[in-house]
Amino acid sequence: MPLQKIILASRSPRRVELLAQLGVHCETLPADIDESSLPGEDPAHYVVRLAQEKALAIAALHGQRGLPILAADTTVALGQDILGKPADAADALAMLSRLSGSVHLVHTAVAVYQAGAVRCLLNTTRVEMMQVPLAVLQDYIASGEPMDKAGAYGIQGRAGAWVVRIDGSYSGVMGLPLHETAQLLHAW
């Protein structure tokens, strides 16, 4: 990929690592936007909207630099319920208890801003999680690992052992689907 440097509208070290797999170097400038869902908002629409808003927020501040701006947003959806990052340990336990033994969707939208335009792609992955004992969930929460992750778990960490199967993108569940990201960056 000829593109070598971009602005990443995120502070996620996982996204930085995934971009490095594509040979893309980035400067991280997290976007400060309201991440509240709108009443009745579909989870897939929610992540697309937030990814675009993050890209535009950074573009408003740094768009004149001429670098592509990449933004992403990930959420876990159980039915129409959006499970974002947990507010605290009790919230993490509530989310993980609901996901335990479930089949749920992980939606990740990737948006790229360049030259006044935003393009966005959505990746949706179906995840089947085993029934996880309460004591194991509590131990996981005590580790602190789930606190900055949508749905209160990271497939690339300890919770990966609970994932029975996925139908979709592993990197999408991590927070940046490589296929869609490469397509958007290549388009520029």
Name the pairing type of β-strands 117-129 and 163-167: antiparallel
Cβ of 13: how many Cβ atoms within 10 Å? 10
Cβ-count burial of 161 within 10 angstroms (0-12 exposed, 13-18 middle, 19+ buried)?
exposed
Of 152, 74, 150, give the one whose Cα is nearest residue 109. Answer: 74
The helix (H) or strand (E) run that includes residue 22 is none
- Residue 28's DSSP bridge partners are 8
**Residues labelled as active-site residues:** 73
Residues 118/52, Cβ–Cβ less than 8 Å: yes
